[in-house]
Amino acid sequence: MSDEEGARLIPTLHGDGSGGRFRTIRRWFGWANVDNLMNVNPISTGFIGSLLVFVGSLQPNSPFTSKIPGSWYLGVNASPHPGNLIVELLAESLIYYGLVLTAVAWLRIVVGARRGEQLRYKWLLFGLWVLPLMVAGPLFSRDVYSYAAQGRMVTLGINPYSGGPALLGNSAYRSTVDPLWGMAKAPYGPLFLALAGGLVQLSGHSPMMTVLLLRLVALASVVVIGIFILKIADLLGVNRDLAFALSAANPILLYTFASAGHNDALMTALMVAGIYLFLKDRRLAGIVLVALAASVKVPAIVAVGFMGYHWSNSNRVLSKLRGLFIAVMLTLAVFYLLGLATHLGMGWIPALSTPGSVLSFEDPLILVGYAIGWVLAHVGLPFGPLFVVNVFRALGDLCILLIGGITILGSRRSNIVRLTGVILIVTVVLGPVIWPWYLGWGIVLLSLGAGDLTVDFLVLLTLSAMPIDFLGAPTAFAWLGYAGLVTILYRRRSSLLREAKEVFDGFRVAVAEVVPPRLQRWIPQFVRIESDA
């Protein structure tokens, strides 16, 4: 691939055949050209970046990892530290610089793999990049402490679906939990809570050891993701090195899945493994494995929809719908049996709204809804910001269902992996709250068979998501990212529209087959397929 094609990875710094529109910007940022990037040694650069983040996190008052006594083995004092402004600024600068080096190293392997360069020593690269992050305390999030506390609740016979870690009272497990989630009911499935309870017992009821074990599960899950991404890439005949670079080596997975220990890693690993089994024609086992993934976190059920619809070898839509129905019933049976076996029941279903208790202005629907509600309240109408936000959230959920349903009906067996990734990204963007680790669900699947549009999209998605959570940056970073993503989608609009049209045409065919002829006239004109008769 030519340098000009490779330069698409940085669309704001390179021209697109439109003359000198970006000439001044290219002159200002001449260091950012692809040739300079190719001179970077990715293994050592990424390792140094991770090492700098680790060293910076040791600062006793670092805002990027918990410094509550008992939260980790390194860099945490037994009592509050008075701090030193110069040391704190230096430590934060190390973390910022380390993240920049991580991004540069990651871009280097993505560009190389995109050009057809073989990514040798990929697991050595992965290991060196992630090792310092795992020695550091959980970075950029304290959710893993909530998992540990919920596991402790399970061992004490307290159902986490009935209340939050505050029910533990004066407990070392509770002291490290973010107060935001102290009263929050667990929105996770019984499989994960049973696992967390088991790890509490395995740790000897040690809070720090429980957190360590939870992070090791997350790290192992990212390794499993990498293994099965390579296997699926071989099955589909796509660029396995590019798929690995975009998924397992992605900073989102390294920092928020592995280091932070989010259970999204386990959910995604089970989902990817299940998809692989499904593609190998072990369909029942694949769907059960994805149902188990949804028993960790519910978004994996999106994959159940696509797999169930293509369970049958028949091209008849009714047969496909029967397969979808069976897959959904099978998933619900897995939920029920796990709830029964763990004595936790199905209380996690109502608790799925827990993440939505946070107003995240990185979420487009939330910011727009809040702004409209603020304006309406100030012109005297009886609609406050929270009311409008809730309306927008309901509309977002409806859009997810409509887009998901249309896409499933319009999908083909050959594109279910990609479309599952697309709908998972749509679910995040239109969902009640956006956290960077949520993006990992779709990034992993979209890494397979990534063309120019998808690579550009995933690169900018990753680079714009990093500052939001990692650096505590303002909402402006998210919206700069959205602007960039819209620009990429617009520039690649022909391929995007072509793919959307193929899916919608498949949906129209499915509707025409399922709806009886006498009811066809009630179908909107743009959906209807006119008969030649």
pLDDT tens-digit profile of 495-533?
788 888 888 888 888 888 888 777 777 777 777 776 544
**pLDDT (mean) for 20-48:** 66
Nearest partner of 95 among 120, 59, 67, judged by Cα: 59
Pick from 310, 314, 232, 315: which is nearest to 271 by CA? 232
Q: Are 372 and 187 in contact (CB under 8 A)?
A: no
Residue 457 vs residue 151, higher pLDDT: 151
Q: How confident is the model at residue 9 (pLDDT cuts 50, 70, 90)?
A: very low
Cα distance between residue 354 and residue 186, in whole Å: 7
- Decide if pLDDT at 19 tops 50: no
**Residue of 36, 76, 70 whose CA lies nearest to 57:** 76
The one-letter amino acid code at 155 reads T
pLDDT of residue 293: 97
Span 140-148, average pLDDT: 93
Please report the pLDDT score of residue 35 as a whole number.
Answer: 65
- Whether 486 shows a pLDDT value over 90: the answer reads no
Most confident of 236-250, 338-352, 373-387, 440-454: 236-250
More confident residue, 306 or 486: 306
Question: Mean of the per-residue pLDDT values for the chain?
Answer: 85
Q: Label residue 20 by pLDDT band (50, 70, 90).
A: very low
pLDDT at 207 over 50: yes
Is 102 a residue whose pLDDT tops 50? yes
Quote the pLDDT of residue 495. 78
Instruction: Identify the pLDDT of residue 23.
Output: 47
Percent of the chain scored above 70 by pLDDT? 88
**Which pLDDT value is given to residue 12?**
36
Sign of the four-CA dihedral 59, 63, 68, 73: negative
**116 pLDDT higher than 90:** no
Say if residue 5's pLDDT is above 60: no
Q: Which of 440-449, 467-476, 516-525 is predicted least confidently?
A: 467-476
pLDDT of 254 strictly over 80 = yes
Structure tokens at 392: 């927008």
Identity of the highest mean pLDDT range in 9-18, 67-76, 451-460, 470-479: 67-76
The pLDDT tens digits of the residues spanning 209-221 come to 999 999 999 999 9
Report which of residues 48 and 524 the model is more confident about. Answer: 48
Single pTM value for the model: 0.88
Highest mean pLDDT among 72-86, 125-139, 312-326, 343-357: 125-139
Q: What is the mean pLDDT of residues 57-74?
A: 90
Q: pLDDT grade, residue 14 (50/70/90)?
A: very low
Average of pLDDT values for 93-118?
92
Select the more confidently predicted residue: 153 or 385. Answer: 153
**pLDDT tens digits, residue range 279-306?**
999 999 999 999 999 999 999 999 999 9
* Cα–Cα distance for residue pair 480/483, rounded to 1 Å: 5
Q: What is the pLDDT of residues 155-193, one digit of tens each?
A: 999 999 999 999 998 899 999 998 888 888 999 999 999
Q: Given this model, what pLDDT does residue 31 score?
A: 45
Residue 369: pLDDT over 50 = yes
Q: What is the DSSP string of 18-81?
A: SSSTTHHHHHHTGGGSHHHHHTS-HHHHHHHHHHHHHHHHTSTT-TTB--STTS-SSS--SS--
pLDDT at 465: 80
Span 346-359, pLDDT tens digits: 888 887 776 656 67
Tokens of 326: 């069976």
What is the phi/psi pair of residue 431, to 5°?
A: -80, 180
Read off the pLDDT of each residue in 106-135 and give the average, rounded to a whole number: 93
